[in-house]
Every structure is written in structure tokens, then in C-alpha cells.
Structure 1
Amino acid sequence: MKKLATVAVLAATATSTAYAGGIDRVGQKADIIYKPGTYGEVSFSSTMPSVSGNDLPLATPRGTFNSGASYDSVADDFNSFGFGFKHDISDRFSVAFTGQEDFGSDIAYGGDPRRTNLGGTSANANTYALALIGRFKLNENVSFHAGVRRDTADGTITLGGLAYGRVSGYEVRLSENVGYGYLIGGAYEIPEIAFRVAVTYNSKIRHDFATTETLNGRSIGASEATDVDTPQSVNIDLQTGIAEDTLLFGSIRWAEWSEFKIAPQRFEGLTGSGLVSLDDSTTFQVGLGRRFTEAFSASASIIYEDGGSDDLVSPLAPTNGLTAVTLGGAYRVGNAEISGGVRYNWLGDARPETGTPDTARADFSNNNAVSVGLKLGYYF
């Protein structure tokens, strides 16, 4: 049963990259620390979203204006690369080193900003986290883990369209910056039935970005550094054998996106507000893994994330919750392990908003995303 735990869930984790709350991409997984012995892996995943919508009528001093514009392919395809290495220093103490793109955004609205509500609005942001994790086994059942994260991030945001009024044409560039945070957690296991419940807390990470702000290509003055905190989060992962060669697994992830603020100095002075407003997210997953032979196993799971308190969202994240299904398989030959899978996401309907009070500017519905993933692992 213990061997089942190291193989069956692999198929589910191969497709972890996809849309989730805020700009979440991989969920800050730390499960490599539970691999037996010395182990290394590399992974690749690709997500292909289909996100489109239409302008809503816009109130202007001259009356209501309806552009009739539609936005296609607002969210660009994105790829993610990851790696991990884990080693047992002793019977009780082990360490792991990982790298993964934990957050990101690739959004671009087409259309003439002079004739559409949101045309010209875009966001491109990337973060890559390196984590060093240590685990101490108190006994066969109880263990604790902790570590440090090093996060590298940068981004560019552009606002365009009639809905932004006098700040249409605004752009901010946040130069690459490195921030540090920590993780801490523990687990309880019953190896005989492949049971494990693990909890991991990830701290927020503060970035102090050197900032360049322009309006229609012209500088609007020197800006102080922009402080941005990536969200703190809690991951709860559970698995247990429920029959011979069959594993039930699940997870809950909560992330505090409501504290994620981007408020460059000059923009805040012009508008009295920041660029991004997001809701906290809680994502649930439940699935089954099955080992069919000594070498081959497969899994299927369902993922659900509720939307915010309403369907008004930031134009820079034009979806609201999701439902997803994943299918995966894993095959082991000797010490080598290959796993892969596919995930289909039904993205929640949303209405991008601007202004104070929040006013819907477009309607996005019936959108989806497909993710595929591949992981290569080796036990040394």
C-alpha cells in the first residue's frame, strides 16, 4: 500500500498548472519532501485558455455608449517549468530543493482604446520561486517540515479603453525584484494504509519594485518603489488507501488574495486607488488513484473553486472561480518514472469592472482552459 502512495497520486500532480484563484499557477506544492530515498524530477506543463467577452453599455456625459465590441483570446497560452530534488540525510531528516512558477498573468484585450471599453488593457507578470525545505520525522507517524522561499518577480500593466477615462494609456513597469518568505507545516501518517494528512503554511513575500510610470508614453514623474505582497496561503493535503491498489486523495488550498495590492505612487495619486482588486480563494480537489500493474497507475479528480462574493472582477483577472476535471497516468521502469495528464477547466462567468463604485464594463461567460503536463522522475 505504501508503494501505491508514491505512484498513483503522481498522475494527479502532473497537471497542477492551470487557472486558480487570483493569479495562482501551481499551488506552492511541497509534496516532494515525502518521496522515499533520493529522488529528482523535472516537469513541464502548458495551459491553453479560451477567454472571451463583450463590452457592456457605458454611461458617458453625452449619454449611453455601446461599442458592441467583443474580446477574443484575452488570456494568452502559458508554459511552466519546474524541478525538484530530495535527499534523506538520515533516517529522520531529509531535505528538498524545488523551483516552480508559482504566480503569473498573461492578459491582453484587443481593440481600439478610443472605441472600446477595455481595448489596450494588458498585464504580464511572472514569478519564479526557489524553495529549500527540511523535514524531521519525530517517529513513523509524525513529522514536521519548514523551509525558505526565494521569489523572483517582475511585471508590466497597461490600462486602455474608455472605461478608464483620463488614465487610459497608463502603463507601469515593475522591475525584477527578489523577495523572501518561509513555509512551515507538519504531517500525520499511517504507512500501512498509505494514509497521510499534511498541512503547509506559506508566508506572504514582499517585493519592493523599482517603478516606472507613464501616461500615453510620457513620464508622469519619478516614482517611489512599489510594495507588493504575494499572498499567504494554507495547503491541506490528504490521502488514504481505501482498497487494495486504490487510493483516495484530496486537497484544500486557501490563499489571501484580498491583501494582494498593486498601488504605484503616481497612479494612486491620480485615482485614489490601486490597480488590482482580488478576492480570497479556496480551491478543493478530490480524486481516486488506481494501480493497475506494478508499473502503471492512473488517477482522476475533480477540482472546484467558488467565485467571489459577486461576479465583478478585475479586468486583469477576468474569471470568477472554476470547476475542473483531471485525468492522468504514471508509468515506472526501474528507477525511472514518467507521468502525465490533462486537465479541463470550466471558468466561472465574470464581469470586469472599473470605477468607484465598481461598475461592470464587459461580460465574460462560457470560457474554459485546457492544461497538459508531463513529469520525469528518477530514484537514485
Structure 2
Amino acid sequence: MKTTALGLIAACAFVGGAQAGGLERGGYNIDLLFDPGQYTFESGVVYVAPDRTLKNVRDTDATSQPGGLSLNARPNSVDETESYFVPRVGLKATLTEGVECLADYSQPWGAHTKPGSNWAGANQNIETKVNSHNYGLTCSYRFDLGPGQVRIIGGGFYQQVDGFKERLVIDPVAAGLGSLTGVGRLDLEGDGYGFRVGAAYEIPEYALRASLVYNSQVKLDDITGTLDLRQVGQTVENVYGSAEMPDSLELKLQSGIAPDWLAFGSVKWTDWSQLQKVRFYRVGTTTERTSLDLGYRDGWTVSGGIGHKLNDQWSVAGSVTWDRGTSQGFGAQSDTWTFGTGVSYTPTDNVEFRLAGALSILTSGSSGAVTIDGESYGSDVSYDYGTDLAAAVSTSLKVRF
């Protein structure tokens, strides 16, 4: 049960966590480090199709438009979200008795909203996209203690983050810009390093494991980019800024509860509140040119589920995940409930296939002008959003050799 349980938990957690708040996509996952094989390769991908609709949209700041004109003649309802894939690859190796290491690639952070230009909030967002690439190495040392084993965990990772944002800077018709679109674009990229430390206690004969892992923040101290205002009749400027991708702390538990039955759960805190306004300045000066307004609060994710081994080849599992929305009256990231199910097929001792699906309920809310820690957000556009849905499916392959 221990071996199949690991796969099922990973499948349900991966498909459930891909709709978490903030900029989270795949997050951090080192469960492969616990695989009992001497050498184990794993590859997987999750596809997420969210469906968030913004309604009752109003341009609440007409002062930036020529003659005080607003965008409220444009449609006041729009689909905001885009579907996306999240891949991951890992290789775990047992170096010597009690010492194991995991090298992995993942995409922990990301975002993609694309409401387009034909809506009343185009002066806030036309398209925003964030990508990430994470390369990690994590090792553990395992030794006996009591009826089980203690595992000390440590490692590091290198992270690259890039993205862009487009918004309507000025109404091209009212401003008489001719063939120009009035759209401004910010491109950016940065990188940094982080580390993780943790510990786990395992009793293999009961499929019992408790782990606590801390992932540090990643300081992007040298974000570089360009602010392209050529479609507004201006020029391209080089800009710079800094940000910190959040640290997190996650507690995971699992245990056999009856023959061929296993329960699992987790609680994770993510420090999204450190991402408020990411300011960008003209290179060579301290003149602020633009900012990415996020206004997040800390994220909490709580998950639980049950797994059952049907026979030596087939196992199934189900999970429920609650993710606290990171929006604070600005933005559309409300609480999310995700219901996932997964199946594991092991035709041989060395090969395992997993397939999981999930349905997320995105709760309702509204966005408008708010003040967070003395900073103003959302004064340009207000809108509501109802209860929406997101669907996800993941598949993965594990090979032991």
C-alpha cells in the first residue's frame, strides 16, 4: 500500500493544487524523494481549464482618458481566464544506505488572464502572463528511531520568472492616435535562488508518514524589462524593479487506517502578502514608471482524502481541497473548493501510470477601490464575479530501475 499510496496522493495533490491562489501553479512537491525504489524517474503534466467571468464592469477612473471620457460604452461582461498546462519532471536516486537525492524541474508559479481590449476594464488589463522555471536538488538522510525512521531533508533551487502585461493606456479614438492602438506593454524577467529544509517521520509497515517542509522565498533583486509605449505615441524605455516570490511551510500526513485503505491530508501556508505593488523604475533613475498591482494576502491550503488499493495493479483515491483566496477586495481570487479523484495502474513493479481529474468551485466576490497597508488599489475599474468552475486533469508516469 505504501508504494501505490504515494502515487495516488501525488496525483490528487497535483491536480488539486493547480488552481491555488496567488501566482501558484504547480507549487513545490518533493514526494518523489520518498519513493522506495533505488532509482525512480517520474514525469507528469496537469491541464487546467478555469472559467472566470467578470460582470457589472465599470470604468471608475475616466480622468486618464481624453476629455474625461470613459470606457463604459464597451461590454461590461468578459471571460478573464485562459487554460494552461503545468509540467514536472523528477529523478530520485539512492546514493548509499539512508541517503537519497531528488533532482527535479517544475513550474511553481504562473498566471494568464486575457480579457482582451473590448471591455470596460481594458485600462486595467488586456492580457497578463507570468511564467516560471524551477530547477531543484533535494537530499535526505534517513536513520532509525523507535518503530520507524526519521528523515532530515535539505536542498536548494534556482528559479527563473518572466512575464508581460498589456493594458489600454489611453483611448486611441478619443486621443486621435490614428492607427495606433493606445496599448502599453510591460515585459520583465528575473531570477534567484532559494532553499528548503524539513524533516519527516515514517513507519513503512503502516504506510505512515508525517513531514514538515519549509521552502524559502526567492529574491528577484534584479528584475529587468521594457515599457513599450510606442502604440501611445511615445517610446520604449528600459525599466528595473525587484520582488520576492513567497516562502511556504507545509505539513503533510498519511496513514493506513484499515487493510488496503489509507487517509492523507496536508496544510500549507504561503506568504503571498509580501506581493503587494511591484514597482518599476526608469533605468538610471528612481522615477517610477509603472507597477504590477497584486494586493495579495497570505494563502492557506487545506487538503484531505482517502485512498484504496483494489488489487495488486489498481488503486483509487479521492480528495477535497480548500484554498483561501488571496484577494482583499481587489482582484478575482476568491476561496476555491476542489474535488479530485485519481486512479493508479501498476502493470509491473517497475512501472506506474496515474490519471487524476478535478472540479473546482471558484466562489463569488467583487473587486473595486480598496486601501491595503496605506496603498490604493482598484480605483480604475470595479466588477463582480459569480460562482464559477474550473476543470483539471493530470497524467503521469513513474518508472523504477
TM-score normalised per structure 2: 0.84
1:313 is aligned to: 330
Q: Over aligned residues, Cα RMSD in angstroms?
A: 2.8
Identical residues among aligned pairs (%)? 22
How many Å separate the matches in 2 of 1:105 and 1:272? 19
- Are 2:260 and 1:253 equivalent residues in the alignment? no
1:105 to 107, 111, 116: 111
Q: Could you list the per-position Cα deviations for residues 198-219 of structure 1 after superposition, in whole angstroms to 9, with x for gaps in the alignment? A: 1111111122221211336355
Report the CA distance shift for 1:352/1:270 in structure 2 as closer, same or farther (over 3 A): farther
Summarize deviations over 1:92-127 as a string: whole Å, max 9, x none: 1000111111110111122436x5565753211100
Deviations 1:153-179 (A, max 9, x none): 11101233789xx9x84421103x332
**Counterpart of 2:2 in structure 1: which amino acid?**
K
How far apart in 1 are the matches of 2:323 and 2:69?
39
| Contact persistence 1:8–1:247 (CA under 8 A) | no
- Looking at structure 2, the residues matched to 69 and 152 of structure 1 have their Cα atoms a distance apart, in angstroms, of 37
Say which SS state the counterpart of residue 253 (structure 2) adopts: strand
1:277 counterpart = 2:329: no
1:302 to 298, 313, 320: 320
1:228 match: 243
Aligned 8 A contact 1:151 1:179 in 2: yes
Matched, 1:242 2:251: no
Query: 2:385 aligns to what?
Result: 364
After TM superposition, list the pairs within 5 Å mapping 1:18-37 onto structure 2. Answer: 18-37=18-37
Matches within 5 A, 1:110-149: 110-112=116-118, 116=121, 118=123, 120-139=125-144, 140-149=148-157
Unaligned runs of 5+ in 2: 176-181, 371-375
Shift of 1:351: 2.4
User: How big is the shift at 1:227?
Assistant: 1.0
* Deviation for aligned residue 1:357: 6.0
The one-letter amino acid of 2:304's match is V
The number of residues matched between the two structures is 371
2:9 maps to what in 1? 9
Encode CA deviations 1:315-360: one digit per residue, 9 max, x unaligned: xxx2212001001100001111000110111112232335736446
Matched letter for residue 209 of structure 2? R
Change beyond 3 A, Cα 1:8–1:223: closer
- In 2, Cα distance between the equivalents of 1:373 and 1:289? 17
Q: Per-residue displacement from partner, 1:23-74 (whole Å, max 9, x unpaired)?
A: 1011211111100121111111111111111244444577998547244331
Aligned equivalents of 1:173 and 1:63: distance in 2?
A: 28
Q: 1:241 to 1:4 in 2, by over 3 A?
A: farther
Q: Deviations over 1:70-99 (max 9, x none)?
A: 443311110121111101111210001111
Q: Is 1:287 equivalent to 2:315 in the alignment? A: no
Identify which of 203, 207, 214 aligns with 2:228. Answer: 214
| Matching of residue 54 in structure 1 with residue 67 in structure 2 | no
**Is the 2:359–2:390 Cα contact (8 Å) retained in structure 1?**
yes
Is 2:270 the partner of 1:262? no
Q: In structure 2, what is the equivalent of residue 343 of structure 1?
A: 358
> Per-residue deviation at 1:12?
1.8
Spell out structure 1 runs of 4+ moving beyond 6 A: 61-65
Q: Against the structure 1 CA distance between its residues 275 and 223, is the aligned structure 2 distance closer, same or farther, given a 3 Å change threshold?
A: farther
Q: Output the TM-score relative to the length of structure 1.
A: 0.88
Counterparts of 1:230 and 1:340, CA distance in 2: 30
Match runs of 1:87-106 below 5 Å: 87-106=93-112
Asked if structure 2 preserves the Cα contact closer than 8 Å seen for 1:50 and 1:367, the reply is yes
> Who is 1:45 aligned against?
46
52, 75, 81: which one pairs with 1:75?
81
* 8 A contact 1:14–1:374 mirrored in 2: no
Q: Report the more deviating stretch, 85-94 or 8-17.
A: 8-17
| Pair 1:200–1:78, CA change in 2 (3 A) | same
- Offset, 1:225: 2.5
Helix, strand or coil: the match of 1:141?
A: strand
- Aligned amino acid, residue 122 of structure 1: E
Which residue of 338, 347, 362 corresponds with 1:333? 347
Cα distance change, pair 199–146 in 1 and its aligned pair in 2 (3 A): same
Cα deviation digits, residues 237-290 of structure 1 (max 9, x gap): 110111110000011111111112521115995689653221110011000000
Match of 1:183 in 2: 196
Larger Rg: 2
- Choose 358-367 or 239-248, whichever is displaced more: 358-367
- Aligned residue number for residue 164 of structure 2: 156
Distance 1:6 1:65 in 2: 52
Displacement, 1:14? 5.0
| Shift in Å, 1:193 | 1.3
* Aligned AA (1:205): V
**2:219 is aligned with what amino acid?**
R
- The equivalent of 2:367 in structure 1 is 352
Distance 1:161-1:54 versus aligned 2 partners, 3 A rule:
farther
Aligned to 2:50, what secondary structure does the other structure show?
A: strand
Contact 2:225 2:239 in 1 (8 A): yes
Q: Secondary structure at the match of 1:351?
A: strand
